Amino acid sequence: MIDPDPWLAKALAGWKAVFGDRLLYLGLQGGYRRGEATEASDIDLVAIRDSLAIEDLDAYRSVVHSLPEGEKACGFISGREELLHWPRHELFPFRMDTRDCHGRLDPLLPPIERRDIEEHARIAASALYHLLTHNYLYASDVDKPGILATAYKSVFFVMPVVHYLSTGTDMPSKRELLAALDGNEKAILAISMDPGNRLAPDSQKQAFTMLHDWCGQVLTSDLGAAL
């Protein structure tokens, strides 16, 4: 497992040598950003340039491959204008999960309004709702446990946004969000943090029900109030 700060310093030096002032921003996301990384974790990066051509991707990749465990690097890369015109409902959780390492992300983003945040919550919840209902009906008993585990892992991409809409508080890690929740939301997030050990065969219907009902509440409730 890497030490992220020295790794990022090497990556930044390599990319600045190639791109110079064209590299506007470098950020860190995911488990390394939250302090929750494991040996299996990807190194989730955000890189923004003044513009982005295929040749820039080749140069970017050459730097990544020169770094220790560079094969684990992934994430988001964009030109400035493309980011300014990105669908706004995707940008609030993107901002929540990004730590500035070089430059500042906020000035590179378009204005994000509350309706954009609500739209993200409902789009993400609707995707999970469909995944759950479709596979509860049609997936084989062999496939259902893996599908259910994947659905629970996806919860952290929407639950912090729902919590923010209800409280105005940004929870930067799963542990902090878990401590702030109660009831079914707390139980859902606890499962999402360790689905392999918590989704026993005799509890799978209950797990389907709990997450399905929560997604339905996100879709139908006033997102300004606690769900």
Per-residue pLDDT tens digits for 191-215 = 998 876 667 766 888 999 999 999 9
Residue pLDDT, tens place only, 154-198: 998 899 999 999 999 999 899 999 999 999 999 999 999 887 666
Average pLDDT of 77-91?
A: 97
Q: How many CB atoms lie within 10 A of CB 12?
A: 16
Residue-wise pLDDT tens digits, 55-68? 999 999 999 999 99
How many Å apart are CA 88 and CA 111, to the nearest integer? 8
